[in-house]
Amino acid sequence: IQNNNILITGGAGFIGSSLANRLLPNNKVTIIDDLSMGDFSNLSSSSNLIKIKGSVTDKALLEKVFEENDFDYIFHLAAVASVADSVARPYETHQVNFDSTMAILEILRTKKKSIKRFIFSSSAAVYGDEPTLPKQEESIIRPLTPYAVDKFASERMVMVYNDLYKIPASATRFFNVYGPNQNPNSPYSGFISILVDCLKNQKPLTIFGDGEQARDFVYIDDVLQALLLIATSDQSLGQVYNVGTGAKTTLNDLIRFSQSDLGKEVDVKYTEPREGDIKLSISNIQKLKKIGYNPKYNLESGMKKYLDYEF
């Protein structure tokens, strides 16, 4: 993507800032972020960058931004990213994770905005715990939490706007993304960011459940590759894609791996599982591979790159 005008909601957050930094040298990038989890310091300084501190639930702000800009690409990454946080705050989560999507789609429809692509970040959480693995895009959808319901509803609404109103759109179902600049400072942060923070600062780690729950952990660079492919492929129009690696890793695997790799003991405490927590989540990525996706990192090389950056 070059010489385009791009909006990234959640652009100061983990995935958003990584994407912005990749696009900034050759594009104009506008960021909206409420800085609840993100930080503008994640972003490279650039004359191509416009930073707006505000919430995607603020319709007046969205309208103003769209009045002042004609965007080519919109990456809607702003979200309450934590499944457990959504269980604690279902209504606030809904406003951020669903209403904001509709608000943007409505502006695009009613103001007849012509864009190249709207990319919505959905989640592997939509599949829930239905036991067939790995998850394919056509697998049974059984959301278990407000987070998963809103991600699926948003994703479907985006596809309806694509089909009925010709707002060109695609969606990603991210599995568990990790890497530098993922904020570890909340009990609701991503597991790997918390683990790395515990290793660095010798803090105790809490595991919810027996640690045998498994995820498909995907390194941020592979996620950027996927986002850029999906945004620019003709084939991906109106389509949703799993974004993962296809590999299974349990939390206990991760602790063993980090300890052996760094030679540091982690003080682990096991406690009750979280409500709505998924036991096993692994992706089938054949569909994404058909448009050229070729993930470069397995857990070992991804963790190594992340840890080299952190230590």
- CA separation for the pair 36, 20 (Å, rounded): 18
Cα gap 43→237, rounded to integer Å: 29
Is 147 a known active-site residue?
yes
- In this structure, the chain runs to a length of 311
Q: Are strands 5-9 and 268-271 parallel, antiparallel or unpaired?
A: unpaired
For ligand UD1, the nearest residue by Cβ is 123
Q: Which is nearer to ligand UD1, 118 or 174 (CB)?
A: 174
* Distance, CA of 207 to CA of 40 (rounded, Å): 30
- For residues 109-126, one letter each, b for 16 or more C-beta atoms within 10 angstroms of the residue's C-beta and e for the rest, the string is eeeebebebbbbbbbbbb
Please count the CA atoms within 13 angstroms of the CA of 303 that sit on its side-chain side: 21
Q: From the candidates 73, 91, 127, 147, give the one annotated as an active-site residue.
A: 147
215 is a contact residue toward ligand UD1 (CB under 6 A):
yes
Candidates 191, 293, 297, 306; binder of ligand UD1 (CB under 6 A) is 191
> How many residues in the shown chain lie near ligand UD1 by CB under 6 A?
23
Residue 123 interacts with ligand UD1 (CB under 6 A): yes or no: yes
Nearer to ligand UD1, 80 or 108 (CB): 80
Interatomic CA distance for residues 249 and 247, integer angstroms: 7
Restricted to residues 140-179, the positions that interact with ligand UD1 (CB under 6 A) are 174-176
Inter-CA distances, 22 with 2, 43, 76, 88, Å: 11, 10, 16, 34
Where does residue 78 fall: left (phi above 0), alpha (psi -120 to 50 degrees), or beta otherwise?
beta
The answer to the question of residue 29 lying near ligand UD1 (CB under 6 A) is: no
Q: Out of 23, 29, 96, 124, point to the residue binding ligand UD1 (CB under 6 A).
A: 124
d(CA 230, CA 240): 9
Stretch that binds ligand UD1, among 62-70, 128-136, 183-191, 297-305 (CB under 6 A): 183-191
Using the rule CB under 6 A, is 15 a contact of ligand UD1? no
* 22 makes contact with ligand UD1 (CB under 6 A): no
Applying CB under 6 A, among 110, 185, 206, 235 the residue interacting with ligand UD1 is 206
The window from 19-27, 80-88, 111-119, 129-137 that contacts ligand UD1 (CB under 6 A) reads: 80-88
**Is 207 a binder of ligand UD1 (CB under 6 A)?**
yes
Q: Is 101 exposed, middle or buried (0-12, 13-18, 19+ CB in 10 A)?
A: buried
Q: Which range of residues in 48-56, 64-72, 205-213, 291-299 is near ligand UD1 by CB under 6 A? A: 205-213
Kindly write out the interface string for residues 232-261 of this chain, putting x where it contacts ligand UD1 by CB under 6 A and - elsewhere.
Answer: -------------------x----------
Is 81 a binding residue for ligand UD1 by CB under 6 A? The answer is yes
What's the min distance (Å) between Cβ of 182 and ligand UD1? 7
> Rule CB under 6 A: is residue 127 a binding residue for ligand UD1?
no
Comparison of 98 and 188: residue with beta carbon closer to ligand UD1: 188
Residue 28 sits in the site that holds ligand UD1 (CB under 6 A) = no
Reported as type and span, the H/E element at residue 143 is none
Residues that bind ligand UD1 in the complex, under the rule CB under 6 A: 81-83, 123-125, 174-176, 188-191, 194, 206-208, 213, 215, 251, 274, 277, 281
- Which residues are catalytically annotated? 147
